Amino acid sequence: MQDFIDQAEKNEVPLLNKGKCQFCGADYDRGIFDCMENYNNGIELLDFNNPDHLVPRFLSVDSHALQHPEIHGRWSNHFHLTRLNLILEEKVKWDYKISPLLSNYLNEYKLNRPNEFLLPPKPLERGNITAKDLVKATTDDECVELIKSWTEEVYNAWNANHSIVSQIAKGFLSSTMKNRNVDH
């Protein structure tokens, strides 16, 4: 993964280093720089050895990436939004083995659609919950519920792109996952 500063520069997006995060609105002193630095603080209650916390981990990664698309490659949006569709709509119980399969599927998918672009919602309109809000959780279960709410907000904010990622998800399920025992 490219450094977020390099990616923002490639996307011609100036990064602000004072005040709130310019993308998600989280209340920080150094904007996106604090937001990126502190992202993991919000999920430290999650026990990653607990299999029930695996999906919330993926949800948090996708939610954070989709609130900050300007600092990621444009196909990153396809990956994260499609994964959310697969988890939320198609009820796929995600695990680490499936991510590279989706990535490979998207690599083939984009060969025939080099100009396809998911239009992100405007900055600060990608859900009100941010990674910083996760530090308010005091228990494991609270953190998981907050991540689920955050994910729903972010996913719904990207609703203009749902038809595209729904088609991608269905194609992925039928071509890649048909021979794999998937819990969905």
Range of the domain at 135: 4-175
What mean pLDDT do residues 77-103 have? 96
Distance CA 46, CA 53 (A): 6
Q: What angle, 0 to 180 degrees and rounded to 10, lies between the N-to-C axes of helices 162-175 and 74-88?
A: 70
Q: Let me know: does 35 contact 26? Beta carbons within 8 Å.
A: yes
Cα–Cα nearest to 63, from 160, 161, 153: 153
Q: Let me know: does 150 contact 63? Beta carbons within 8 Å.
A: yes
Distance CA 171, CA 51 (A): 27
Amino acid of residue 24? C
Examine residue 112 and state whether it is found in any structural domain, yes or no: yes
Q: Is the pLDDT of residue 149 over 50?
A: yes
Confidence grade of residue 50 (pLDDT, cut at 50, 70, 90) = confident
Q: Residue with structure tokens 């005040």?
A: 19
Cα–Cα nearest to 150, from 87, 52, 61, 23: 61
Q: Residue with structure tokens 């300007």?
A: 70
Examine residue 80 and state whether it is found in any structural domain, yes or no: yes
> What domain count does the chain have?
1
Examine residue 157 and state whether it is found in any structural domain, yes or no: yes
- The predicted-structure confidence for 15-24, as pLDDT tens digits, reads as follows 999 999 999 9
- The predicted-structure confidence for 91-137, as pLDDT tens digits, reads as follows 999 999 999 999 999 999 999 999 999 999 999 999 999 999 998 88
Residue 25 makes CB contacts below 8 A (sequence gap 6+) with: 124, 128, 130
Examine residue 166 and state whether it is found in any structural domain, yes or no: yes
Examine residue 184 and state whether it is found in any structural domain, yes or no: no
Examine residue 181 and state whether it is found in any structural domain, yes or no: no
Examine residue 180 and state whether it is found in any structural domain, yes or no: no
Examine residue 36 and state whether it is found in any structural domain, yes or no: yes
Q: Is the pLDDT of residue 177 over 90?
A: no
The residues pairing with 30 across neighbouring beta strands, listed in sequence order, are: 19
